[in-house]
Structure 1
Amino acid sequence: MGFSKDLRGVRQLWERFNAGLVDVEACRTPYHRLLLDEWRRCTALGVDVAMSRGRRLDDAAFRQRREAEQLLLETSVPIVQDVAHYLQDVPGIMILAERTGTVLHITGNPRVRERAAAHSGIVVGSEWTEGAAGTNGMGTALSMGRPVHVFATEHFCERWHAWSCAAAPIFDTDGRTVLGIIDFTTVESDFRDQALGLAVSVANSIQARMALHRELERRRLLSSFSETVRHYPHDDVLALDPLGRPVMHTPSERCRQIAERWRHGSADAADRVQSRTEVRAPGTGACIGSIVLLARPAGYQKVFRPDERPPPVAAAEPVTRFGEFATGDAETRRMLEDLRRIAAADVNLLIIGETGTGKELLARHVHACSRRSHEPYLAVNCGAISAELMESSFFGYVKGAFSGADPRGRAGYFESARGGTLFLDEVGELPAAMQAALLRVLEDGSFQRVGSCETRTATCRIIAATHRDLGQLIAQGRFRQDLYFRLKVVQRTIKPLRERPGDIRLLAEQFAQSLGLKHGVAAPTLTPDAHAALARYPWPGNARELRNAIEVATLAADGCIDTGCLPPEVLRGGSDGATAGPDPALARPAESLASLREIERQIIVGMLRKYRQVSVVAQRLGLARSTLYRKFAELDIRQAEFLGSAPDPAADEPPPQR
């Protein structure tokens, strides 16, 4: 890399080197000195210059390495295959190798692939480190930790002189650890200047997707850490990444010192472990880290006076997590275990549940756990599309299909989802004409764009959801029974929050943690009175309503959520005539608007109590002061009642009216 290629000169240098006629010190050009250093290292490693085929691992060893690199494979192969579509006319192959130089995947021109296998043994399972095959694209990029282009006679082994190899390393998020290699190999006579840029670009794309996976793994690990800390509030806990490096620890000085020693590989740090629990990724089951509970120091004993001894704590129900959906309810936990198996089965799924119970959370994670996870996930609210645009939205349209259409035509939802997942939310709202149109697609996957006679094929998986009773709609003639049976190959129902009261506390604490991060404040704790008020309320809006209530309380609280921070309707405990589980579609607009205004008023009042200055409240809410004063008038908020003895400075006076 960085040197002009000199095929004839390098050929002569290679021949003289192998004849023992070249002195490295006498070479004048940096390019030749670099090549001679590479070749001398290969000689020292014992590489046979006359070897004719790459060394292939036995099946058991290759299977072990492949299983260890499942994340790299699942992340890289879709990207490599997408790039390969654009290289159909280019005589070359793209190779993915893992961190030890073993080839995991090859794609590209079939003739070049056959020649590479027959001529040089470049096949899946072959090993291409410098120690195994001398100077070559994959091995040298792995050895040097940077992109390289090894052209023709620059290879150490004569058999590889027929190839031009451009390779780039795939780095982990630390920018130093090499996870694998992307190599673009062509025949020597088809040398292309863009080959190295292509390899670097593909490697960067894989790195970006790997970084996303790492961040998701990190968040799951930290979630497990927080869960452990809640269960062991008086103990020291460490979260370790897959390589055993500390990621987070409890704030005690002792734990900080142990984490430092652990980071530097001190043996005595490992001796302090009381228990160690592995955290595994959903779907693949790969280990993404571990949670370590440290043993208490010698002589530790917590002493209680007789009147201070804590009451016995009832054993907590085990918590099952399915993506962001968490529950301790036994029946719901069984449903989540069913969904883990259903995710891999690749069948249509119908999810029934009241509004706000988390139907889309489940749908998203079913997609993430399925074989389609590398393809798009597309969510569509069937109740938000007008009947006139329904067909063109789902199936797309061609140029000139109707007045006002995009002159280039447009793909519909079924095309845009490709081989991924199409989530049809509120499927019970579909009009009769669209129900009939969907039947054909769900039967054999075929459809036509509006204005076209060309038949296209949908390959996506369908997950549908509704809060309505489809059996009742069928009896009323408002939903087709044949469509219902096509959608519900598998059907699961989510219990409303009021029927799993044990989840209210779990979700409230989870929301307090996440919303604290969202708003940049310390995660608040909930008092026993606040928990009792939450438990009394029937939650007609389910988990979504609970999240909104905790968000209001988080903004109004000062590190601790008490009953005064909760919305008024929660404090009333549903005793004002609200029925459990109302259908939001039947709510009157005036009632919905009044509820929204009350929530808005509660947020502003809570911020005034906390910060006691209008300028600060406006800044925290992202509003202009003039807008905030207008809100005071609309919501009947008397500023002076909440500022008390710390009135606003003169700068906070309302702007003059014009």
Structure 2
Amino acid sequence: MTRMPEGQIFSDPRNDTAVMAAWERFLDGGRPTDSLRTLIDGSWQRCQQQNVDPDKCSAPPPVEESTLFSLKQHNSELLEASAPIMACARDFLAETGTMMVLADTSCTILSTEGDDPTLGVAESIHLIPGVSWTERVCGTNAIGTALAVGEPVQIHSAEHYCAGIKRWTCSATVIRHPHDGEIIGVVDVSGLSESYSRQSLALVVTTASRIESKIAMREMERRYVLLDASLPRWSGAMAGLVLFDRRGYPVKMNEIAQAAMSALGAEVDLARPRRMLEMAIDEHGQLRQDSALPAWLQREWLEPVVDSRGQRLGTLLVVPLPRLGRAVSGEGARDLSHEPAHREANLPAGFATIVTRDPGLREAVRKADQLARSKVPVLLLGETGAGKEEFAQGLHKASPFRDGPYVALNCGGLTRELLASELFGYVDGAFTGARRGGLVGKIEAANGGTLFLDEIGEMPLDLQPHLLRVLEQSEIYRLGENVPRKVNFRLIAATHRDLRKEVADGRFRMDFYYRVAVTSVRIPPLRERCGDVRALAEHFVERFCKQHDLGPRRLDNELLVHLENYAWPGNVRELRNVIESMLLMSDQECVGLDALPPELMSGAEADTAGLPPSAGREARAVASVSSIAQGEAELIRRAIATTRGNLTRAARELDIAKSTLYQKVKLYGLEGEICRMRGS
């Protein structure tokens, strides 16, 4: 917002005569003089266009008591946050000839406090609860004009548009919700002209800021209560879960949900959360009826989250497993999820649960095992689902910190505020509603052990220096605390992003990058690991048959050939879920090609479909690459080919947003590939 010059912000009582003359000239069809502020000129123009009566002596009568009660109920959050501040107005505005007014977004006054004589005089112009003071109704006035321009305003005496209000001076500003800047009300200080003071504007700006701070604390409190109330649903979840707060903002999601939303053609980004009005709750605890659900969302997927008193706190979106196709199963599920039943010979003890026959992955394990003996941070590089957390656990088991705790946190799964509190914790009384005794953050919980930060590339830029300071000084401050706590832990971070590019683009701090990436291990994607698809498929069949008590099952060889020839953009996680889905959906002892999900059948690589596994591997070997960019371009090219130029399906195969795929296609000049595939 562009800041107005000081002369435009404040009224000047010395100009009253000139302003009055300008008003009379304006009503006669003339133009105002230079003595009129731009703010007032614009407001008068709006009043004239809306046919406001300049001779009006007061605002209209107040609404019925029942209507005012409903308005107060609708604005209960604003009233609760402002109540202690408005109560103070009784004392500090007494005998000042001024009063404080709180209004909603329709400029209807909800409450007033202040100097008793002034409150009495205000009744003569209906500056009382239940009356709307919009410009359309009352002409130029601080309440209505502040809402019209969305910034602090001061309106004095003759600057008012209606004759009956020109005895007054008033200052007002809008109150914005601290999370998204949405205007939720207006606060005003008014009095007769003799009470004019520049400080009145400073007072309303400070008051609005205090109310916004109260709302921010209460909102954080509500989110913690919401998270606690929804906690039982996250453990062992077999569906995509997205938790929305009472205003319709996503607060938390599990890793299945990202794939689920993408498959449905929708997106939820916790790093830049967008409000979904259809998920907002009204004052009666019901979903808003004025917003229709999007086409991809079914109402039966929505579950209310309530507290112990039955009061609705938010909404849980549950996308059922059968609709996820290749999505993962279970929040926080390990990327490889291997059990000791398939121990591979010659792998170090810490990594013995990994199922692999591939020399490339074995070399990555050997390097990780060597690094595990040191205490320096390790950065794990790999695509989504390639096995980064399995490697992190292996590094912990073989490290000097193996007797300490292993604590994991996904930096991309929480909003900025919740991520900060999850990392650093907070003390008792840090904010209204904070848990008694405070909260131990993940960093402190990992003291003496290992802290694994997955998707560290998603960490907000302003949080990175705080974690850097912890790594440099080995001490943390809980939120609301000014006494440091010593910590000693081993950091393992993981990302699927190119952090060097993120640094170059200004989305990741260079000093933080060099502190986190002291050493790194690249985990090859499944499509580069010869023989692992078949080995993992057999392992998952054995595992899920036992887990779901399915009896003996095996995969048909033709099905295994198709699995080996598929590109697996979701890597081991995707393979695991496909195997589980096929086993659950099939009742045959020998699971054949007919059990393959349709998207995999159509997405099997066209150039290798029907060929023996060796031919498929050779075709993939031809597409071997020497850089991340080249590899990304080749992966996108294959996705375009296998989906015959269908970018919606291609984006789903690649597990990225369709808008991101369009950008990549343009970046790598693949438009011709799309045209050729669609024309073939």
TM-score range, shorter chain: 0.3 to 0.5
TM-score, scaled to structure 2: 0.43
Q: TM-score, normalised to structure 1's length?
A: 0.45
